[in-house]
C-alpha cells in the first residue's frame, strides 16, 4: 500500500518539525479537517490502514475496489462489513462528505496558523497523548490541537470532569468551589468545557488553588468560546490547556458541542454533574461517561429547583452516585484502583525503569531521573501513568510505591 509522500519543505514545517513522524502528524492534521468529530468510519480507515496510507488513497482518488482491497490486505474487511453493514454505501457517503474538504491549501493554512499561535499538535505518537482517549475506539480523535501546556494532558489521567448548568444558583457556586478545593488537596486535575456557569466556576477555582485544568472546546482553539469567557480561557492557556479535536477556524456548532462532551468524559476518571436540567449538555456528558464505564456522580439539589431536576433524576435512576463531599469523589477513584491492581508484567520499559528507581522509599522526581537515566519530562509523564495504574502514589513532594 502506498504511503503519503510530502516535499522536504513540508516535512520541515515548523508545526511538524518536532514530530517523530511528520508524515503521520501531517495526516492527522488533514484528517481532523476532513472529518467531523466522532466520525467512526474515518476512525476505522485510519486505524486499519494507517492515517497516511488512508489519506494517500483519498488523495489518489482510489476506487471502491481499491479501498476494499486495501482493507482485505489488513484482514479487517469482515470486521468493517460487520460494523457498518453496507460498507459500500458508507464508503460512498463518507467520500462525498470528505472530498469537498480535501485541500492541501487548507492543511498548510492550518499548520501556518498553529505555528503563529503556538498551538501544539498532539497525536498518538506524542509523549503527552492521553491514552485513555483510546476507550472511544473508532471515535477516538486523530489529533488534539492544544493551546497551553501539553503536560496537563498527562495529568488528566487523575482528573474529574465537572459540568453543570450555565446559570447556577449560589448553591451550585458554593458546592463547585468546595469540591474543587477538596479535589486539589488530593492532586486531582479538573476537566470541563469552558462554558458559562458551573464549567467556568470549576476552571476558575482550579486556577485559584493551583491544580491543572483543561478546557475542551467545541470549535477551533483559535476561537476562545464563549467570547465572554476569553479572559478565563487565556488564564487556562497560561497554566493548563485549552484543547480541541477540530481544526483551527472551525466554528462551534450544536453537533460539535455534543461530540465535545465525549472527549470531556473520556479524559477523566469520572464526570460530576452539579446543577443540571433534565435536558442538558451536562447530562449528555454523564451519559458518555457511563458508556465508557467511567464514574458518574451528581450533587443532589432542591426538588423545587429546575436546575437540579437533571442531577436528582440521575441519582434517582441509579445512573449517578450521590456526592456530598470531595472525599466521596476521591474514594471512588482510589477504590477503582484497588479493584484492579496493576501487574508489573503489563508495564512499559520506561514504567519499569521508573518503578525500579523508586525502590521502596519516598523519592523526588530529580532522584528518580538520576537513578533511572530519564528526563524530567519522561519521569513526570510516566509517574502519572503509574499513579493511574495504582502502582505509585504521591506523598508530599515525592513519590512512593503503592
pLDDT in tens, 248-279: 999 999 999 999 999 999 999 999 999 999 98
pLDDT tens-digit profile of 286-307?
999 999 999 999 999 999 999 9
Binned at pLDDT 50, 70 and 90, residue 349 comes out as: confident
Whether the per-residue pLDDT at 339 is higher than 70: the answer is no
- Going along the chain from its start, the domains and CATH numbers come out as 8-117 (no CATH), 131-337 (3.40.50.450), 344-401 (1.10.10.10)
Residue 347 cell numbers, joined: 508495564
Residue with cell 519521569: 379
The percent of residues above 90 in pLDDT, for the chain, comes to 75
Report the predicted TM-score, pTM, of the whole model to 2 decimal places. Answer: 0.83
Give the per-residue pLDDT at 230. 97
User: Which pLDDT belongs to residue 310?
Assistant: 96
Instruction: Please state the rounded mean pLDDT for residues 137-148.
Output: 96
For residues 247 and 110, is the Cβ–Cβ distance under 8 A?
A: yes
* pLDDT reading at 365 higher than 80: yes
Give per-residue pLDDT as tens, 241-253.
999 999 999 999 9
- For 51, 56, 59, 69, 120, the CA distances from 66, given in Å and listed in that order, are 16, 12, 13, 5, 34
Helix (H) or strand (E) holding 147: strand 144-148
Of all residues in the chain, what percent carry a pLDDT higher than 70?
96
238 has pLDDT over 90: yes
Burial 297-317 (b: 16+ CB within 10 A, else e): bbbbbeeeeebbbbbbbbbee
> Average pLDDT for residues 375-398, to the nearest whole number?
77
pLDDT bucket at 379, cuts 50 / 70 / 90: confident
Q: For residue 319, what pLDDT is reported?
A: 95
Question: To the nearest whole number, what is the mean pLDDT of the chain?
Answer: 92
On the question of pLDDT at 172 being above 80, the answer is: yes
DSSP of 263-304: HHHHHSSEEEEES--SS-HHHHHHHHHHHTT-EEEE----TT
Amino acid at each position: 500500500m502506498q504511503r503519503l509522500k510530502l516535499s522536504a519543505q513540508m516535512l520541515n514545517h515548523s508545526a511538524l518539525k518536532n514530530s517523530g513522524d511528520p508524515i503521520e502528524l501531517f495526516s492527522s492534521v488533514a484528517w481532523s479537517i476532513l472529518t467531523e468529530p466522532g466520525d467512526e468510519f474515518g476512525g476505522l480507515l485510519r486505524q486499519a490502514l494507517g492515517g497516511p496510507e488512508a489519506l494517500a488513497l483519498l488523495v489518489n482518488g482510489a476506487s471502491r475496489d481499491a479501498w476494499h482491497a486495501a482493507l482485505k490486505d489488513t484482514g479487517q474487511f469482515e470486521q468493517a462489513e460487520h460494523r457498518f453493514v453496507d460498507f459500500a454505501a458508507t464508503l460512498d457517503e463518507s467520500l462525498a462528505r470528505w472530498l469537498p474538504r480535501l485541500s492541501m491549501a487548507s492543511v498548510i493554512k492550518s499548520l501556518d496558523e498553529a505555528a503563529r499561535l503556538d498551538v501544539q499538535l498532539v497525536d498518538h505518537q506524542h509523549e503527552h497523548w492521553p491514552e485513555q482517549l483510546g476507550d472511544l475506539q473508532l471515535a477516538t480523535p486523530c489529533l488534539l490541537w492544544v493551546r497551553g501546556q501539553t503536560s496537563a494532558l498527562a495529568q488528566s489521567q487523575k482528573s474529574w470532569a465537572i459540568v453543570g448548568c450555565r446559570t447556577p444558583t449560589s448553591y451550585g457556586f458554593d458546592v463547585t468551589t468546595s469540591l474543587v478545593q477538596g479535589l486539589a488537596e488530593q492532586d486531582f486535575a479538573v476537566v470541563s468545557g469552558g462554558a458559562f456557569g458551573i464549567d467556568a466556576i470549576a476552571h476558575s477555582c482550579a486556577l485559584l488553588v493551583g491544580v491543572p485544568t483543561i478546557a475542551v472546546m467545541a470549535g477551533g482553539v483559535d476561537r476562545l468560546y464563549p467570547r465572554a469567557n476569553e479572559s478565563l480561557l487565556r488564564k487556562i492557556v497560561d497554566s493548563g490547556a485549552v484543547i480541541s479535536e477540530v481544526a483551527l477556524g472551525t466554528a462551534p456548532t450544536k453537533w460539535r458541542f455534543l461530540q465535545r462532551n465525549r472527549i470531556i468524559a473520556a479524559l477523566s476518571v469520572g464526570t460530576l454533574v452539579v446543577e443540571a436540567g433534565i435536558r442538558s449538555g451536562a447530562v449528555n456528558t454523564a451519559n458518555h461517561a457511563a458508556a465508557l464505564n467511567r464514574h458518574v456522580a451528581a450533587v443532589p439539589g432542591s426538588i423545587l429547583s429546575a436546575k437540579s431536576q437533571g442531577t436528582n433524576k440521575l441519582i434517582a435512576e441509579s445512573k449517578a452516585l450521590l456526592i456530598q463531599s470531595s472525599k466521596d469523589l476521591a474514594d471512588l477513584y482510589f477504590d477503582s484502583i484497588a479493584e484492579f491492581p496493576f501487574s508489573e508484567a503489563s508495564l512499559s520499559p520506561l514504567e519499569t525503569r521508573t518503578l525500579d528507581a523508586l525502590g521502596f522509599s519516598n523519592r523526588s522526581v530529580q532522584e528518580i531521573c538520576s537513578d533511572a537515566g530519564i528526563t524530567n519530562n519522561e519521569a513526570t509523564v510516566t509517574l502519572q501513568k503509574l499513579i493511574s495504574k495504582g502502582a505509585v502514589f504521591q506523598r508530599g513532594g515525592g513519590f512512593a510505591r503503592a
